Amino acid sequence: MIVILLGAPGSGKGTQSERLTDALDLVHISSGDLFRDHLGRGTPLGELARSYMDAGALVPDEVTIGMIADRLDQPDVHGKGRVLFDGFPRTVAQADALDALLSEIGAGSVGAAVFIDVSEATVVERMAGRGRSDDNPDAIRTRLAAFRRDTEPVIAFYRAQGKLVAVDGEGTVDDVFERIMGGLLACE
Ligand code: AMP
């Protein structure tokens, strides 16, 4: 099972990803976590990503896709096809690349793309409480703009394939989790 989690920054993707990977026995691949790991280790990829991340802008597709391709090559994923992608793909080019990568490694295809739908007011409120370095007002604005411009078309991409599971992201973590599980069951 390959599941994608989509949502604006602050929509609760990270929290829900952890619950879902436990419940469904999936490997969690978060592009944001992978970038932060590179940053922390001071790798060349981390250095390259830093300025984009600080500004709240998307890291260029070829860099992001290369990083995901490396992750998919690792033995916990390769050929197994049980993954939850969190924060990737964020552009249609990344979504196309993901389809190609999954078929290359014999991991099947994307089963469902879950979109956690929250209002802009909720997003701003949730991000204000996180205290991450890219959660300052300018970077937040840039990230929301990137979501609208680059990631909303990804939602349309999966909707057109009949794979989109859109859930209301307002309410408690438990409420949203139940909605997602219900949506995934209904689309199986
Ligand atoms: P996140 O933790 O998912 O909010 O990601 C933090 C930052 O990492 C983003 O603001 C981007 O700068 C970068 N990033 C994460 N995932 C991607 C992606 N799929 N494509 C481009 N940049 C990304």
pLDDT tens, position by position, 91-126: 999 999 999 999 988 888 999 999 999 998 888 888
Distance 68 CA to ligand 1 centre (A): 12
Alpha-carbon separation of residue 184 from 65, 96, 131, 149, 166 (angstroms): 26, 22, 32, 26, 10
- Ligand 1 shell residues, CB under 6 Å: 9, 31-32, 35, 52-53, 56-59, 64, 87-88, 90, 94, 134, 143
Beta bridge partners of 167: 116
Query: Do residues 1 and 24 make contact, with C-beta atoms less than 8 angstroms apart?
Result: yes
Distance 86 CA to ligand 1 centre (A): 10
Rg (the chain; Cα; Å): 16
pTM: 0.94
pLDDT single digits (tens) 145-169: 999 999 999 999 999 999 999 999 9
Per-residue DSSP letter, 30? E
Query: In whole angstroms, what is the distance from residue 114 CA to residue 129 CA?
Result: 24
Question: What number does the ligand 1 atom closest to the CA of 90 have?
Answer: 19
